[in-house]
Amino acid sequence: MSKTSFPGTLTEALQHTAKGNKSITYIKAKNDELTVSYAELYDRALHLLYQLQQAGVKQGDELILLAESNEQFVDVFWAAMLGGIIAVPLNAASQNTAHKRVLSVFQKLDKPFIWTSTTALQALLQYADDQQLGALKSELQQQALLAELLLPDGNQAHVASIAAQDTAFIQFSSGSTGEPKGVVLSHHNLMSNIRSILHGSGATEDDVSLSWMPLTHDMGIIGFHLSPLVLNTDVYLMSPELFVRRPNLWLEKLSEKKATVSASPNFGYQHILKYFKPEKQAHLDLSALRLIFNGAEQISAALCREFNQSLKPFGFKNTVIFPVYGLAEASLAAAFTQPTDPVQSIFISRQQMQLGDNIIVSSAEQADSLEMVLLGTPVSDTGLIIANNAGQELAELTLGHVLIRGDNVTQGYYDDPELTAQTINVEGWLDTGDIGFIYQQQLVLTGRFKDLIIVNGQNYHAHDLEQICAALPEIGDQKVAACTIPGNNGEALAVFVSYKGELKEFVPIINAIRAALAKDAGIEVAEVIPVSAFPKTTSGKVQRFNLSNQFIAGEYAATIAQLMQLSAPEPSENTSEANSIEQQLLLICKEVIPERDIAPSDDLFEIGISSLSLTQIHERLDQLFPDQIELTDLFDYPSISALASFLEHNASTQD
């Protein structure tokens, strides 16, 4: 598709694609799929737009999307696009941090409508009640559009007149204080970047896309919904929840559909390998795969090699994993590697990783070396430089700020001129907040300048996590700092606590922090570490990156080893008498989180269970005890023994 024939807006793109014969297929389970042609999608969206308009939504209004399925999301998203309504995609998760985020965005926007389900709305209202936000609760009720009540009839709306510079949607992410910041993306921004994505990935109309990335994330919606639609190719969409529960289903569907393009950040490969059994997958044929986009978090070269090796017998080529760099402010893509190259990396010295340092190229044999993946060159029509604090471009192998500019780059943040001015300079360069350097013309990222924490492809702000910890009675007046550290296959979370007492008395603090962050934020804590003092700037700000560097250098290894001994569970004296349900539960938990020593009486949240692990445990429980246990029951009965008693009680009352 040439630049002259390329559509100028998303609306034009759907109208063009609706004339073809390609489609979206929603994969709901192994044998449960729904195919909707782009022509049918266009009609469905116009019917739904009529219902939105009847409910009072007008062109230019803002509409928060809290969809509970990909099918729902796509229909209402396109209804908004065709009506000139500004879509605001948000995660419909039921955790407190998700509720807090939705309410924060709702308050920031200008009298937005909120499209959601009755169940999700009730959870939001309950959270507002718990936080004593009576006025906000009333506004939510007034502005809510319940999905169950907006059932399309025979009427269709007229397509609004849309200009390329009009706002299409707002992608919210964490701001510098933990408050959500809205990246405003116009149709022009999006179409410019989609053209670059298709060009940089060597896409053709023969491609078949299959993705489990969430549509509320820029990789999901722009990379694996809008881009295939603009190109007019078939696309298959799984939900992230289905991928978590059935990781091998992703591989099976890639094989079955002869998919050529997919995506997964680092943790997805790790999740696949954890449950992949080659002897049971002999039928897999992954030879059609051309690319799997790998981005959204720091990329592990070692994990890519392991994934390549494990799947090589099934036709998986070593050029398939496609390292990329992107962010919402770029309308997704900023830098791509060559789609025909295998993953490339460089070893550098850990000792020279401060801003302005000249990077020292090292080797795998050096004890202090760190392997970093090369992320390619800027995508077409996008500028990318490494700069110092004054915004001046730095030479190759010099560590600095990653800046971007181009037609794909946002003009600013929603209702936040101060943040916009801080982020985009007078020459139009946007500071991504990432730190990196250039090596042989390719970008290498080393981390974040600001304190955004990315674990398992999810964004968390250090400030938010620290606030959750600070509210714990076990913390008292002690200070807390959260940052990322290298994990087994990617980034992991560490929480540092200012502490000068006995180590054995620190164990309850570890348990409290792990439990709170697991329950309230759905994130697993790799390490909770006591420190006598925090490294700080001259203005008194905690230098989280220095804590991470100290961890990498091994300064806390002895302390961590002592704490592991002190917190190890006591061996059970009644193991032989443990009931069979308890034994089964113990096996499930040890399978999902093998890195933790678990006793039947342990609180799983204090062990530090993530939302990903929680979902996996529930899935296995549901297989053993069909329809007997809800996900929320794990919060009410958080230990193996308590959960076993709950299941036994249910069984006895049914007999």
pLDDT band at 70 (very low <50, low <70, confident <90, very high): very high
Q: Coil, strand or helix: which one is 81? A: helix
Element (H, E) at 549: helix 544-552
Cβ-count burial 546-564 (b if 16+ within 10 Å, e if not): bbbbbbeeeebeeeeeebe
Whether 128 contacts 103, CB under 8 Å: yes
DSSP 504: G
Which tokens is 539 given?
């203005």
pLDDT of residue 450: 64
Rounded to whole angstroms, the Cα distance separating 115 from 63 reads 7
Give per-residue pLDDT as tens, 518-561.
877 778 888 999 998 888 754 456 778 778 888 888 888 889 88
Q: Which residues contact 92 (CB under 8 A, 6 or more apart)?
A: 66, 67, 68, 98, 116, 117, 120
Q: How far is CA 95 from CA 25, 82, 98, 155, in A?
A: 29, 32, 5, 37
Burial track 347-384 (b if 16+ CB lie within 10 A, e otherwise): bbbeeebeeebebbebeeeeeebbebbbbbbbbbebeb
Taking residues 276-285, report their average pLDDT.
88
Q: What percent of the chain has pLDDT over 90?
A: 54
Phi, psi of 183 (to 5 degrees): -80, 115
Q: What was the pLDDT predicted at 611?
A: 67
Residue 452 has a pLDDT of 66
What is the predicted pLDDT for the residue at 654? 60
Under a CB-based contact definition with an 8 Å cutoff, are residues 238 and 25 in contact? Answer: no
The mean per-residue pLDDT over the stretch 91-106 comes to 83
| 3-state DSSP of 423-478 | HECCCCCEEEEEEEEEECCEEEEEEECCCEEEECCEEEEHHHHHHHHHCCCCCCCC
Tokens coding 486: 């290298």
Q: Per CATH, which fold does 326-448 belong to?
A: Luciferase; domain 3 (2.30.38)
8 A C-beta contact, residue 121 and residue 97? no
Map tokens 């899935």 to a residue: 619
To which residue do tokens 């924060």 refer? 104
Report pLDDT digits (tens) over 160-188. Answer: 999 999 999 999 975 444 578 999 999 99
Residues 6+ apart with CB under 8 A from 554: none
Alpha-carbon distance values, 52 to 68, 115, 124, 242, 318 (Å): 18, 9, 21, 29, 47
| Range name among 78-87, 415-424, 529-538 with the lowest pLDDT average | 529-538
d(CA 606, CA 609): 8
The Cα 21–Cα 499 span in angstroms is 64
Q: What is the CATH number of domain 452-567?
A: 3.30.300.30
Strands 377-378 and 369-373: unpaired
Report d(CA 323, CA 136) in Å as an integer: 43
CATH class (in words) of the domain with range 575-654: mainly alpha
Q: At a CB cut-off of 8 Å and minimum separation 6, what does 501 contact?
A: none
What are 330's two structure tokens? Answer: 């770029």
Domain boundaries in the chain?
10-207+215-234, 326-448, 452-567, 575-654
Q: Is 12 exposed, middle or buried (0-12, 13-18, 19+ CB in 10 A)?
A: middle
Q: What is the DSSP string of 627-643?
A: TS--TTHHHHS-BHHHH
- Poorest-pLDDT segment among 42-56, 71-85, 615-629, 635-649: 615-629
Q: What is the mean pLDDT of residues 213-228?
A: 94
Q: Are the beta carbons of 597 and 564 closer than 8 angstroms?
A: no
Neighbours of 503 (CB within 10 A): 14
Residue 233 contacts residue 205 (beta carbons within 8 Å): yes
Same CATH topology for 326-448 and 575-654: the answer is no
Superfamily (CATH) of domain 10-207+215-234:
ANL, N-terminal domain (3.40.50.12780)
- Would you say 27 and 69 are in contact if contact means Cβ atoms under 8 Å apart? no
Phi and psi at 452, nearest 5°, equal: -80, 130
pLDDT of residue 47: 95
Residue 376: which H helix or E strand, with range? Answer: none
- Categorize the per-residue pLDDT at 575 as very low, low, confident or very high, splitting at 50, 70 and 90: very low
Per the CB < 8 A criterion, the answer to whether 410 and 189 are in contact is yes
Q: Helix 507-521 to helix 462-470 angle, to the nearest 10 degrees?
A: 120
* Percent above pLDDT 70 for the chain: 91
Burial of 543 (0-12, 13-18, 19+ CB in 10 A): middle
Burial class (CB in 10 A: 0-12, 13-18, 19+), 521: buried
Q: What is the b/e burial string over 244-279, where b = at least 16 CB atoms within 10 angstroms of the residue's CB?
A: bbbbbbbbebbbbbebbbbbbbbbbbbbbeeebeee
Structure tokens at 576: 């032989």
Query: Do β-strands 23-29 and 234-238 pair in parallel, antiparallel, or remain unpaired?
Result: parallel
**Which run of H or E residues covers position 513?**
helix 507-521
Structure tokens at 404: 């971007």
pLDDT at position 458 over 80: no
Q: What angle do CA 649, 653, 655 make, to 5 degrees?
A: 115
DSSP H helix total and E strand total for the chain: 23, 26
Mean pLDDT across the stretch 299-308?
Answer: 91
Average pLDDT over residues 381-410: 96
Question: Average of pLDDT values for 443-464?
Answer: 75
